[in-house]
């Protein structure tokens, strides 16, 4: 949940992509490195971009899908 909140703050920023749940590729990489302290290689970045880019706007990353993949929501029922 914490990771989702970090990405949500990028979405409401005045320079955001203005597509709910999506950020630009540079915003996404910056968040990984500055907010989450994750350093990824160019090859790793390309794989993530390919997997989580928006079908209609490939320059945007679906950060909610990324967050749910790396940190799945917990189920509160059995």
* DSSP secondary structure letter of residue 61: E
Listed by start position, the domains of the chain span 2-70
What digits encode the pLDDT tens for the residues 8-20? 555 455 555 467 7
pTM of the model: 0.66
CATH of 2-70, one of 2.60.120, 3.40.50, 1.10.238, 1.10.1420: 1.10.238
Query: What digits encode the pLDDT tens for the residues 48-69?
Result: 999 999 888 888 999 899 988 9
Is beta strand 60-62 parallel, antiparallel or unpaired with respect to 22-24? antiparallel
């Amino acid at each position: 949940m914490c990771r989702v909140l970090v990405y949500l703050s990028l979405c409401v920023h005045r320079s955001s992509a203005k597509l709910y749940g999506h950020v630009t590729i540079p915003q996404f990489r910056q968040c990984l490195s500055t907010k989450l302290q994750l350093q990824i290689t160019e090859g790793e970045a390309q794989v993530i971009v390919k997997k989580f880019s928006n079908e209609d706007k490939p320059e945007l990353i679906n950060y909610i899908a990324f967050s749910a993949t790396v940190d799945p929501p917990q189920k509160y029922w059995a």
